[in-house]
């Protein structure tokens, strides 16, 4: 009976099938990227955070209900203690064929030491966030990061056979004139690259209108030197891809502000406290920790998920302009997971 009640498909009121779950396994991070966190962040008390066993339980119910792709993110997922244990547990869903992909988004700081095990647990493609190849700029953006460590990690993961997509946030006046060299570097290593616009999530010290660089401008500039051919490549994410003729590499654009991608949204996001966000850009959320902890079987949890999916909104309301200085959503990206 438990199985029947927990395995219903997740289809939202707009007919979108939810097949992708992103899980922020920790809100903590060993970097303090200027667009993501303030320098003095206060983090959640440990007692509020789901244990690795609880995270496994919630993820497994989502897999029963039709999730085919699972991404662990954060904060920095690889700073969570014993995180490999969670990958090891979740790998059983890859083995059973219920899950197509288990993956991670990381800043790369700890990746070198985990790359081999991650490959062993079935992780084949990961995202690494990197906004500059200039060591001093890297320090400026991440505040606490070390570029060489990240570059070493990238090489280690590639050597293990893990495919990497680099995510680069386009920042006005910071890396905007470096984007082409990041592209040739990434494509030279056979890595995909995605440019991302800054999103108005959470209070930070800087003014977001100063950071915001529309990707329409980036694309127009690239066209001066490169041939971009639109392609139909899809990773289950919101990026629109082109093939760069001269490098032979793939380049994606994630444009939440200049282009709305909600109509094909197939994802929901779980925080490390068991809160489910049905949309990155809306405040509405469902508490899954209470039903999770209320009983040992998963019936209540499954019902809470069904109810939440019925509240998945049509789209987000991101807007960054001079009149609208407050973030559209008060929580940081590190809470919901990027
Ligand atoms: N710590 C990991 C990392 O940096 O890859 C995973 C979590 S991080 C929140 C996920 C992604 O969100 C990163 O690529 C980061 O650049 C991006 N990000 C964070 N805050 C953002 C914002 N306000 N706008 C756009 N992207 C943001
Ligand atoms: Fe940490 Fe990732 Fe946010 Fe940077 S973007 S502060 S690495 S969570």
For residue 130, the ligand closest to its alpha carbon is 1
Going residue by residue through the chain, which has 338 residues, state the pLDDT in tens, using 9 for 90 and above. 344 456 678 999 999 999 999 999 999 999 999 988 988 889 899 889 999 999 999 999 999 999 999 999 999 999 999 999 999 999 999 999 999 999 999 999 999 999 999 999 999 999 999 999 999 999 999 999 999 999 999 999 999 999 999 999 999 999 999 999 999 999 999 999 999 988 766 666 766 667 889 999 999 999 999 999 999 887 766 788 999 999 999 999 988 665 566 788 899 999 999 999 998 778 889 999 999 999 999 999 999 999 999 999 888 765 544 445 555 566 666 666 55
Ligand 1 center from residue 28 Cα (angstroms): 13
CATH number at residue 146: 3.20.20.70
How many angstroms separate the Cα of 279 from the Cα of each of 183, 262, 266, 315?
Answer: 30, 9, 10, 7
Ligand 1 center from residue 187 Cα (angstroms): 21
User: Does residue 259 form part of some domain?
Assistant: no
User: Does residue 47 form part of some domain?
Assistant: yes
User: Does residue 257 form part of some domain?
Assistant: no
User: Does residue 220 form part of some domain?
Assistant: no
Q: What does 43-95 look like in DSSP terms, one character per residue?
A: ---GGGSPPHHHHHHHHHHHHHTT--EEEEESS-GGGSTTHHHHHHHHHHHHH
For residue 129, the ligand closest to its alpha carbon is 1
Pairing state of beta strands 250-254 and 240-244?
Answer: antiparallel
For residue 169, the ligand closest to its alpha carbon is 1
Q: Find all residues with CB under 8 Å of 333, minimum gap 6, and list them.
A: 36, 199, 201, 202
Pairing state of beta strands 125-129 and 101-106?
Answer: parallel
- Which structural domain, as residue segments, surrounds residue 159? 2-165+264-336
Q: Which of 25, 33, 211 has the most ligand 2 atoms within 8 A of CB, as the residue to mutate?
A: 33
Cβ neighbour number for residue 147 with a 10 Å cutoff: 19
Distance CA 76, CA 56 (A): 18
Q: Which of 169, 280, 316, 330 has the most ligand 1 atoms within 8 A of CB, as the residue to mutate?
A: 169
* 122 within 8 A of 102, measured Cβ to Cβ: yes
User: Does residue 50 form part of some domain?
Assistant: yes
The pTM of the full predicted model, rounded to 2 decimals, is 0.91
Number of domains in the chain: 1
User: Does residue 242 form part of some domain?
Assistant: no
Ligand 2 center from residue 33 Cα (angstroms): 5
Q: Which of 289, 322, 288, 324 is nearest to 308 (CA)?
A: 288
Ligand 1 center from residue 36 Cα (angstroms): 6
């Amino acid at each position: 009976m438990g199985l029947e009640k927990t395995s219903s498909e997740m289809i939202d009121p707009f007919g979108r099938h939810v097949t992708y779950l992103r899980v922020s396994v920790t809100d903590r991070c060993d970097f303090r990227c200027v667009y993501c966190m303030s320098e003095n962040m206060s983090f959640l008390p440990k007692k509020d955070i789901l244990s690795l066993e609880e995270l496994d339980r919630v993820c497994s119910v989502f897999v029963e209900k039709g999730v085919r792709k699972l991404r662990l993110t954060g904060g920095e997922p690889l700073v969570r203690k014993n995180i490999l244990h969670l990958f090891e547990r979740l790998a059983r869903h890859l083995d059973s064929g219920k899950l197509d992909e288990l993956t991670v988004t990381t800043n790369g700081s700890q990746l070198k030491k985990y790359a081999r095990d991650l490959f062993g647990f079935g992780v084949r493609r990961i995202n690494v966030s990197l906004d500059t190849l200039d060591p001093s700029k890297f320090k400026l953006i991440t505040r606490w990061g070390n570029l060489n460590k990240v570059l070493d990690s990238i090489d280690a993961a590639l050597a293990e056979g893990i495919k990497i997509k680099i995510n680069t946030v386009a920042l006005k006046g910071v890396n905007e004139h470096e984007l082409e060299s990041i592209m040739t570097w990434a494509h030279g290593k056979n890595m995909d690259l995605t440019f991302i616009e800054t999103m108005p999530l959470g209070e930070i010290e800087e003014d977001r209108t100063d950071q915001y660089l529309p990707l329409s401008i980036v694309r127009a500039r690239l066209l001066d030197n490169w041939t971009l051919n639109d392609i139909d490549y899809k990773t289950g994410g919101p990026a629109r891809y082109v093939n760069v003729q001269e490098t032979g590499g793939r380049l994606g654009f994630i444009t939440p502000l200049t282009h709305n991608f909600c109509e094909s949204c197939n994802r929901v996001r779980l925080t490390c406290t068991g809160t489910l966000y049905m949309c990155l850009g809306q405040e509405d959320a469902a508490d899954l920790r209470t039903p999770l902890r209320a009983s040992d079987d998963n019936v209540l949890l499954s019902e809470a998920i069904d109810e939440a999916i019925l509240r998945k909104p049509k789209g987000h309301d991101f807007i960054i302009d001079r009149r609208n200085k407050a973030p559209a959503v008060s929580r940081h990206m590190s809470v919901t997971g990027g």
